[in-house]
Amino acid sequence: MLFCLKCKGLLIPNKDDPKKVMCASCGYKPRQKKNLSVKEKVDIDSRLEVVDKTIETLPLTEAECPKCTYVKAFYWTAQTRSSDEAETRFFRCQKCRHQWRQYD
């Protein structure tokens, strides 16, 4: 339960914007920057998790893992920085999940 910083009244959901709260007695609307940044962080974390799951569906190739020397790895390519730069190939060891990149 949250209370107003000004009059200690009860904070209720803002009718105009349900994501925000306002004071039931004086109408004071506290800033909620903190809550927003927490939400953003959660979004980033869930995006990373999606990438992690997608990796399992990537094609396998013969590439030697620099960490455990296993010879099979998932691979995908990504354009880094500017578009005139060569594509970067990413590998992820099927065995130890070590990830590395290779430039052409």
Strand runs labelled E in the chain? 11-13, 21-23, 60-62, 72-79, 87-93, 99-103
Q: What DSSP state is assigned to residue 82?
A: S
- Find the binder of Zn ion among 65, 75, 91, 92 (CB under 5 A): 65
Q: Is residue 100 involved in binding Zn ion (CB under 5 A)?
A: no
Nearest CA-CA partner of 17 in 31, 1, 38, 3: 31
Between 66 and 85, how does the x/- string for binding to Zn ion read (CB under 5 A)?
Answer: -xx-x---------------
**Of residues 45 and 56, the one with the C-beta less far from Zn ion:** 56
Q: Which amino acid type is present at position 81?
A: R
Phi (first) and psi of residue 34, to 5 degrees: -60, -50
Q: Out of 11, 21, 22, 23, which residue is the one contacting Zn ion (CB under 5 A)? A: 23
Nearer to Zn ion by Cβ, of 70 and 76: the residue is: 70
Q: Which residues bind Zn ion (CB under 5 A)?
A: 4, 6-7, 9, 23, 26, 28, 65, 67-68, 70, 93, 95-96, 98
